[in-house]
Structure 1
Amino acid sequence: MWVQTAQVWVNENYKDVPGYTEVPEDGRTGWRTMFALTRALQHELGITSLSDTFGPTTESRFTSQIGAITSATKARVVQILACALWCKGYFGGDILSGRYTEDIAASCSSVKRDMGLSDTSPDITVKIMKSILTMDAYVLVRGGDPTIRSAQRWLNATYLSRRDFAVVPADGIFSRDVQKGLMFAIQYEIGMADGTANGSFGPGTVAGLKEKGTVSLGMVDGTRRWVRLFQSALAFNRRPVPVDGSFGTSTKVAVQEFQEFVRLPSTGIGNFSTWASLLVSTGDPDRPGTACDTNVPITATTAAVLTGAGYSVVGRYLNGVTKRIQAVEIRTIHDAGMSLFPIFQEYNNAPGYFTGDIGYRHGSAAVLRARQLGIKPGAVIYFPVDWDATDGDIEALVIPWFEKVRDGVRRARANEYQIGVYGPRNVCQKVCDRGLAVSAFVGGISRGWSGNLGYPLPGAWAYDQIQELKVSTPTGLVEIDKVIVSPRAAPIGPDAVLPTPSRTVTDASGTRVEVNDWFWRLSELTYQAECALERSVGAFAVRKYATELVLYHLQKRKYDDMQFRAYTPQPESVMTDPVQAALLSAARQSFHDSAALVPVEDPLYDVANYAGDLEHFAASTRGYVQWSYTSDGSVGPGDLGAWALDLVTFWAEYATARSADSSLTVGSWCGYRLGYGAAGESSFGETDLIADIDAFLVAKRLLDDADRSLADAVREILTHDDDPRWRYRTFLRERFADDRTRIEAAVHHLFVNRTPWVFPAVSAKLDGARRPGEQADDGSVTEVELVTELPTLARVFADRLLGAPRPPLP
């Protein structure tokens, strides 16, 4: 009631004053009410240019015109004081009367007593009035710490008499104003005069701390109060320590714990480096750091310089046109013995970039990029708040933004990657407190940010950025930020990164290694498929079909006729549950819409990126995924969509050629063509054979590990492209157990076995052509040929897989 009365009174009496801003009459205290009272006081002091700030002009006129508010002060000023007392939670008497009563005097004494002052006379001087016209509290508030309050009250009692020292809150909360008050106190103890002391951590303060500020076990304050100031600084940094001016064992233990926390040598001595870490967000910027971050790509030369300078961890950006990290750079970093931590930043340096849509997009894009680079699940990706966000900004913008980042990161798979936050201390602490980040990369380097003033280092800090540097390398200067590393940090080492497929490109600009664009696109398609399925209401029931969506999308341009639809039907067409079928159908359409943005017609899907036939690979892989695989000397249904019916088609091609030219033989004609040549030269050329082999290898990995993605399985194969025989050796081992007899037995089984799923398929594929060992309609094949045709065809197929030299052209 009394707060509302104060609001009504100030509005009624000053609403017509130029420059006055009316306050809502809602009975709730707050800064707007205090600003209104400040403007009212300025008007009473004869100031015409009113403002919310109790600045030098207000201070000067208050001192010269009033001096101190007492019973002799004019009623309007007493009424303003009474309003402020009510708003601060103290008894303010009858506002309307304007009388300075004994009750108001008692309240004024209580205010000063709560501040910690020894002089509790009711007179209200300029510093006291200036503080009363703020939202500062002088009693322990919720979340406040009694030890911090004790230190605050001691600072007020000890230093308020100095010219530039302002009243600090006595609420038990470490804040920017308390930080500044502590800095003034330190400067006074150094010996700085009024007017010289400025509350900033500058060269004079640094020099003074180094010369006079060291404290250690057994020291007790005398005329100088270094121990108590140091203990206050420890208390403000949430260290359990007495603030009594005596450096005892408990203080030493607190110092050691703090030093360990901020990664200083654990000496237990209050030296300059410890003072600096207690007072400013950079700490001592010249102390050694073992990490750095940079927007400059790391070359082998740069890595050697950095490791030589003691850096073992580097922060690099996942995105950006020129500054983003590349797969080859990750290898360079690891080859140099370093590890890395990833950052995803697109501007993020102003409030306008903190919208829900942007947060969601950043989270999603970071996951895709991390996947493409082979960063394994579980890694922490840091998302920056690269500006000085206030408490209001954090609640209104930053927290909602990180909620959307979280949603974006979880778009395809829950908890695939962990979220980290970069920014001022206050931002990092609050984002972590909300459970929206597991780790903090603190922008301590910007010690002028309000979010770094009056806030201790967050408990979840992993990296602390403290100094900008330029490092000299043989190729020029490289700009880095020095970073301190916490034991809680989990940088990415070589074991946490999968190799990324690459290719060597030679053009007019020279020879360079680039990522394999086909794999890059496939990773994007795989991610889009997972996202489409995860958006489904019944995601738990259909998310396993991501591979199906991608493979069908890749094959349908060439292999989407009735034969293939019968062999590998779309799962939703054969589901017995209509609800599940509808969910998968809707997800397929959603994926199709997004995949259209990454068309398979893109020139990046050419043989420069993949040695096999892309559509063939996709269709064959779907066959294996749906029908599974076998590893013996027989032919399974999965083989039919791959090498088996390709071999049948190839045989039919030979049989047709043989009927026209009796000089042809299986060994020479088939040996020269089977698995060789460009597309079109043979019905079973090299691109077809590679597609069939890769289809088996990929499908086996997917079937053996249900959680493995299509892109990840393909990654394993493409990273061995520098060894042309790797896929053949692996296929031989996994499909035929490195046994030639199994290969030849499988070919024999293909053509002679009457298994229901093999014989009709072979017959249909032959399309009237004879089988190996069958006489031609014209009886032109000799008996010797007929006996050897199938064994020879089996041998030729085995030779091709085993890497035998290519026979000459017949």
Structure 2
Amino acid sequence: MDAAVLAVQQWVNATYTGVSGYEPIDEDGSPGRLTMSALTRGLQHELGITALSDNFGPATLAALTAHGPIGPAETNQNLVKIVQGGLVCKGYSGSFGTAPAGPVAALMTDAGLAERIDGTVLPKVCKAVLSTDGYTLAAGGSPQLRAAQQWLNGRYLNRSAFVVLACDGRRSRELLTALIFAVQYEGGLTDAQANGNFGPLTQAGLKAKGLIKPGSSGPWVRLFAAALSHYPAAQVFTADFDDTLAAGARALQTFCQLTVTGEGDFPTWASLLISTGDQARPGTAADTIDEVTAARAQSLRAAGYRTIGRYLTNVEGTSLDKKIKPGELATMAANGLSLFPIYQTYADSAGYFTWAQGYADALTAHDTALGHGIDAGAVVYFAVDYDATDTEVTQRVIPYFLGVDSGLRQRGSRYAHGVYGARNVCSRLAAEAFTRWSFVSGITSGWTGNVTYPLPANWAYDQISTIRVGGTGSAGLEIDKCVQRVGTDLGEPAFGSAARPLADYLDWIDRLQELAVAYGQGDPGERVLEYLAYWQTRKISGGTDGAFVAYVDGSGLARVRTYRDPVAGVDVDVSRFGAAALGALRDRGDLAGWGGDLIAFYGGWRFTAPDTAARDYCAANLAAGAPSALDLAGLVADVDAYLAAAALRSGGALGAHLRAADRGVRYSLFYRGRFSGDPNAAATAAQGLLTDTGDDVLTSTRALLLRGLAVTPVTVDDQLRQFCRAFADRLAALAETEQTQLNRKVS
């Protein structure tokens, strides 16, 4: 408890309790919003405002401006006390009753207003005093961004709509709005015209006066640098367009799929100031609720579009018919259009999003996509079609997407999941819920989740405007134009494709190996595995050399997604193999491969068949032909990954190992290599994955995999022991079958 803050709270309650509209606050000695709100209501009362509120808004500012600055000659001592109270709560004064001149000067210095210090409290400074904004560098704040905030305050405070910004070095909606105001002012807009919106007048002024390049200097450069500092990788605040600023501009342009000029051109400014960016820039992707007929496909092609988002299902109980029609995907493919599939029913409020809903939606999306013949490895984009707050993302949206992940795993991980939503939603889900790619709703520029947040690192599509192509006739349709990022999701160009033969897969691996050798950075085998794992949602394997991915893409080498294993008789997911092998090579083998899949398989049992005995469930589903989190195709990928990583650690080449591998004894080699051929060791390892708590990575990953499915860490009981023993017995049986078949061949 702070005694000075307590004195402020006691005074404001004693002075204003009984005044209509004043609400007494707790006297606990803790500064914060409620105390500042009480002081604000007191100020409004002193200024003659009768409708009191917590908000220091335009009416309060106008009334205080009419009164004038609060200075040494102020006759209303309650106004002085209110300022003193705000300064105490902000930490600028150690005792309630100290003359405000010194503390106000300190705050103004921190706010970039040192040149305006005159011994009085200006109305806009009073607003800052009674805010909860900070004026010192916050934890995690950027010193460069704070310098920009201070400069903005110092330059523009005299403009009518400009108020004192926080100077804490953190991104905020208020800072972005202030930057737009500043662009309007520098572009020649009057106070009456400036409104903080990036509209036609603002854009015209920017194009006329604000296009800058290396060698430029002055306020426009400072504004550009301040806007660029919203991106963590570009922390520089300068008045001179130097090499550092040019490098930051080039990095942003590359990331945002803009023409790389290294200049402050209009598209770059627009990308910094509004989530749509320059809506006139070309897009090669689009989403639409309209059927893509042959005529419309030709219109789309003629307009430059190549990848089209279409909806897997309709919303039950509504008349909107937006789903993919029979034959439509064949029409798209015949006309050179790829698909990115979207799943959305309602998804337009927080109440929709639960883990169970995500799980159910994943099953529906999988089954529908499979019914359309969408190839394995496709990314399905699940929608978050509203402005979710950060709290809602934590409490509702992340659990929903973990449910989606679980549902797709239980269907055998044929499809990966992406997200459609605001920038912040997409970024958080990429970090916390396994989403592979993001389809960003940049078009909703007013959403809080888009304002001030940079594009997510894994963005693939950025939706920027709604337009019509093909005219008003039958060949026309309304689309949402999207920018498609090179090197990400290319969409689905074909449907119902068969897995590639083993020989084709091995030739492809050899070609990747050649490219990795020519690339010349790091171990070629590890680069190849990174390329394979790049398409997976699983993050446990570690980072990927994105430059090598781009190098491969630039070579024109087409990606192989699945191959047919001639021994096991299953289609193996190449990216799943790559992620597991890379994890094993980087000492996360169990969790990145068979271990993570076994955890998810356990969750599937506890959620879908809790009354079925562990042995019975495993006998029917573990390493079986029917899809599950650890079906036969999954186990083949995991086992081959373990063996490939072992070969690479021993100095072998990936391609040579895969060509020489005896797939008829893979289980035996894995069983002996990982568990020394001991079923007890296999059961113990399985139990450790589900129950151990000493490894933070294991603990956190397991919690995500089992969220909504089972309690974690798992309690050791007879059913768990049976589950782990069943896993060990299944491995032993597969190895024994191999040996029996081998003996028959020998005899």
TM range (shorter): 0.5 to 0.7
Cα shift readout 1:68-88 (whole Å, capped 9, x = no counterpart): 354735333333323322332
Q: For residue 361 of structure 1, what is the aligned residue in structure 2?
A: 360
Cα distance change on mapping 1:86 and 1:289 into 2, 3 Å: same
Q: For residue 182 of structure 1, what is the aligned residue in structure 2?
A: 179
> 1:412 Cα deviation (Å)?
4.0
Equivalent residues of 2:177, 2:196 under 8 A apart: yes
Cα distance change on mapping 1:25 and 1:542 into 2, 3 Å: farther
Whether 2:111 is the aligned partner of 1:115: answer: yes
Cα shift readout 1:375-399 (whole Å, capped 9, x = no counterpart): 3443322222212223343334333
Cα distance change on mapping 1:361 and 1:84 into 2, 3 Å: farther
Aligned with 1:421 (options 398, 419, 423): 419
Equivalent residues of 1:315, 1:342 under 8 A apart: yes
Amino acid at match of 1:116: G
Whether 2:271 is the aligned partner of 1:273: answer: no
Equivalent residues of 1:426, 1:452 under 8 A apart: yes
Q: For residue 408 of structure 1, what is the aligned residue in structure 2?
A: 407
> 1:301 Cα deviation (Å)?
1.6
Q: For residue 323 of structure 2, what is the aligned residue in structure 1?
A: 324
> 1:182 Cα deviation (Å)?
0.7
Cα distance change on mapping 1:69 and 1:236 into 2, 3 Å: farther
Cα shift readout 1:483-522 (whole Å, capped 9, x = no counterpart): 001124213324575489xxxxxxxxxxxxxxxxxxxxxx
> 1:112 Cα deviation (Å)?
0.8
Higher mean C-alpha displacement, 140-149 vs 130-139? 130-139
Cα distance change on mapping 1:359 and 1:35 into 2, 3 Å: farther
Q: For residue 781 of structure 1, what is the aligned residue in structure 2?
A: none
> 1:364 Cα deviation (Å)?
3.0
Alignment of 1:180-579 (within 5 A): 180-221=177-218, 225-240=219-234, 242-320=236-314, 322-326=321-325, 328-413=327-412, 415-472=413-470, 474-475=473-474, 477-494=476-493, 497-498=496-497, 535-536=608-609, 538=614, 542-544=620-622
Amino acid at match of 2:210: G
Whether 2:173 is the aligned partner of 1:149: answer: no
Larger gyration radius, structure 1 or structure 2: 1
Amino acid at match of 2:369: A
Cα distance change on mapping 1:392 and 1:532 into 2, 3 Å: closer
Q: Distance in 2 between matches of 1:348 and 1:205?
A: 34
Q: For residue 38 of structure 2, what is the aligned residue in structure 1?
A: 36
Equivalent residues of 2:176, 2:273 under 8 A apart: yes
Higher mean C-alpha displacement, 8-17 vs 276-285? 8-17
Cα distance change on mapping 1:24 and 1:392 into 2, 3 Å: farther
Amino acid at match of 2:90: K
Equivalent residues of 1:375, 1:496 under 8 A apart: yes
Whether 2:127 is the aligned partner of 1:124: answer: no
Equivalent residues of 2:141, 2:170 under 8 A apart: yes
Equivalent residues of 2:437, 2:489 under 8 A apart: no
Cα shift readout 1:677-711 (whole Å, capped 9, x = no counterpart): xxxxxxxxxxxxxxxxxxxxxxxxxx9xx9xxxxx
> 1:203 Cα deviation (Å)?
0.9
Q: Secondary structure at the match of 1:381?
A: strand
TM-score, length-scaled by structure 2: 0.64
Q: Distance in 1 between matches of 2:487 and 2:387?
A: 25
Higher mean C-alpha displacement, 326-335 vs 48-57? 326-335
Cα shift readout 1:446-475 (whole Å, capped 9, x = no counterpart): 112222222222222111100001122551
Q: For residue 67 of structure 2, what is the aligned residue in structure 1?
A: 65
> 1:170 Cα deviation (Å)?
1.0
Q: Distance in 1 between matches of 2:30 and 2:393?
A: 22
Equivalent residues of 1:424, 1:449 under 8 A apart: yes
> 1:330 Cα deviation (Å)?
2.1
Q: Secondary structure at the match of 1:286?
A: coil
Equivalent residues of 2:464, 2:483 under 8 A apart: yes
Cα distance change on mapping 1:534 and 1:58 into 2, 3 Å: closer
Q: Distance in 1 between matches of 2:372 and 2:322?
A: 15
Q: For residue 647 of structure 2, what is the aligned residue in structure 1?
A: none
Q: Distance in 2 between matches of 1:22 and 1:74?
A: 22
Aligned with 2:165 (options 150, 163, 168): 168
Amino acid at match of 2:42: A
Q: For residue 561 of structure 1, what is the aligned residue in structure 2?
A: none
Q: Distance in 2 between matches of 1:469 and 1:348?
A: 24
Q: Distance in 2 between matches of 1:548 and 1:363?
A: 17
Q: Distance in 1 between matches of 2:56 and 2:373?
A: 57
TM-score, length-scaled by structure 1: 0.59
Aligned with 1:81 (options 77, 83, 87): 83
Cα distance change on mapping 1:409 and 1:88 into 2, 3 Å: farther
Q: Share of identical aligned residues, percent?
A: 42
Q: Distance in 1 between matches of 2:66 and 2:627?
A: 81
Q: Distance in 2 between matches of 1:25 and 1:399?
A: 38
Q: Distance in 1 between matches of 2:53 and 2:176?
A: 25
Q: Distance in 1 between matches of 2:50 and 2:357?
A: 45
Q: Secondary structure at the match of 1:108?
A: helix
Equivalent residues of 1:110, 1:120 under 8 A apart: no
Cα distance change on mapping 1:395 and 1:198 into 2, 3 Å: same
Q: Secondary structure at the match of 1:451?
A: coil
> 1:24 Cα deviation (Å)?
4.8
Q: Distance in 2 between matches of 1:542 and 1:5?
A: 71
Alignment of 1:739-758 (within 5 A): none
Cα distance change on mapping 1:543 and 1:24 into 2, 3 Å: farther
Q: Secondary structure at the match of 2:418?
A: strand
How large is the Cα RMSD of the aligned pairs? 3.2
Q: Secondary structure at the match of 1:68?
A: coil
Equivalent residues of 2:187, 2:205 under 8 A apart: yes
Structure 2: which 5+ runs fail to align? 316-320, 500-600, 629-682, 684-733, 738-747
Whether 2:55 is the aligned partner of 1:46: answer: no
> 1:227 Cα deviation (Å)?
1.5
Equivalent residues of 2:333, 2:494 under 8 A apart: no
Aligned length: 518
Cα shift readout 1:90-140 (whole Å, capped 9, x = no counterpart): 32522xxxx342xx4322111111111132444221111212322221111
Alignment of 1:85-100 (within 5 A): 85-94=87-96, 99-100=97-98
Amino acid at match of 1:423: G
Q: Secondary structure at the match of 1:458?
A: coil
Q: Distance in 2 between matches of 1:425 and 1:164?
A: 28
Amino acid at match of 2:92: Y
Q: Distance in 1 between matches of 2:293 and 2:204?
A: 39
Q: Distance in 2 between matches of 1:25 and 1:437?
A: 46
Cα distance change on mapping 1:42 and 1:403 into 2, 3 Å: farther
Q: Distance in 1 between matches of 2:417 and 2:72?
A: 57
Q: Secondary structure at the match of 1:450?
A: coil
Equivalent residues of 1:70, 1:124 under 8 A apart: no
Cα distance change on mapping 1:43 and 1:487 into 2, 3 Å: same
Cα distance change on mapping 1:437 and 1:106 into 2, 3 Å: farther
Q: Distance in 2 between matches of 1:29 and 1:409?
A: 48
Amino acid at match of 1:149: R
> 1:286 Cα deviation (Å)?
0.8
Q: Distance in 2 between matches of 1:431 and 1:180?
A: 26
Q: Distance in 2 between matches of 1:408 and 1:7?
A: 53
Cα distance change on mapping 1:242 and 1:383 into 2, 3 Å: same
